[in-house]
Amino acid sequence: MLTVRNLHAGYDGKEVLRDVNINVPTGSVVTVLGANGAGKSTLLNSIVGLVPTSSGVIEWNGGKIENTTPDQALKCGIALVPEQRELFLGMSVADNLRMGAYLRRNSLDIGAEQQYLLEIFPSLKSRLEQPARALSGGEQQMLAIARALMSKPSVLLLDEPSLGLAPKFVEEIFRILKQITGDGTTVLLVEQNAAMALDAAESGYVLDIGKITFSGTSEELKKSPIVRASYL
Ligand code: ATP
């Protein structure tokens, strides 16, 4: 279980997250819905140490994740796919994938992982030697997710994976999400596409100006008048 308890975090004295509590059971998909600026990215970034926390506890499988950095979080099995993707645009698709496995030592394992991921992300297969900047927005998002998966994370934090993508890529992303979670990966998904996020997730939270204002199963969220009015 990934647990966030009483979390406060923000930037230069500006508190953004106020007493946030979230549980992501191992092997499940949990979504966080919220308007622009609600603090969704801040939440994911604070879990991996990109945003400093002022108080609260983050735990993965009972172990505290304290004063972490993104590479320490990765060593604990937590990988972030950031909203901006942060690909190495001048490097080839294959090298971007290899960078995702930089903590892994066994080159046979890394090769096998890449083969496996290329089955899940077939559109990357024929593009391996091209620079990442030659890919479309949707393909770049696939690459960002595949790169994160190269570390074989236990927990994947996905920040707005469908943002700005054509409908066919949005569907593809959610199809892939299903496949990834079928393999046992735990996912915390931040999305503006609430309908698709709630279809993919078992449960969810509403984050409103830095505070959790509603939580429940996806079915409960879909039925909630507040969620229906604001997000669906
Ligand atoms: P969006 O969907 O627009 O990305 P969000 O819910 O992910 O929104 P955040 O990006 O976490 O929201 O932003 C929450 C608040 O923190 C906003 O008021 C934003 O302006 C502020 N903020 C975000 N990043 C920084 C930063 N690096 N420095 C200062 N303030 C920031």
Q: Beta 211-217 vs 63-64: how paired, if at all?
A: unpaired
Q: Beta 53-60 vs 63-64: how paired, if at all?
A: antiparallel
Only one residue has tokens 């960002």, namely: 144
Distances (CA, A) of 90 to 53, 67, 99: 33, 32, 13
53 CB under 6 A from ligand 1?
no
Identify which of 40, 80, 84, 158 to mutate to test ligand 1's pocket (most ligand atoms within 8 A of the CB). 40
Only one residue has tokens 């901006």, namely: 84
What local confidence, expressed as pLDDT, does residue 201 receive?
96
Q: How far is the CA of 39 from the centre of ligand 1 (A)?
A: 6
Q: How far is the CA of 125 from the centre of ligand 1 (A)?
A: 35
Q: How far is the CA of 231 from the centre of ligand 1 (A)?
A: 18
Residue minimizing CA distance to atom 29 of ligand 1: 11
Q: At 62, which amino acid appears?
A: G
- For domain 2-231, the CATH architecture is 3-Layer(aba) Sandwich (3.40)
What local confidence, expressed as pLDDT, does residue 198 receive?
96
What local confidence, expressed as pLDDT, does residue 15 receive?
94
Separation CA 170–CA 160 (nearest Å): 11
Q: Beta 2-11 vs 14-24: how paired, if at all?
A: antiparallel
For 105-139, the pLDDT digits (tens) are 776 677 888 888 999 899 999 999 999 999 999 99
| Residues of the chain below pLDDT 70 | 104, 107-108
Instruction: Tell me the percentage of the chain whose pLDDT exceeds 70.
Output: 98
Are 3 and 23 in contact, with CB atoms under 8 Å apart?
A: yes
CA 160 to ligand 1: nearest atom: 2
What local confidence, expressed as pLDDT, does residue 146 receive?
95
Separation CA 155–CA 162 (nearest Å): 19
Helix (H, G, I), strand (E, B) or coil at 153: coil
What local confidence, expressed as pLDDT, does residue 112 receive?
85
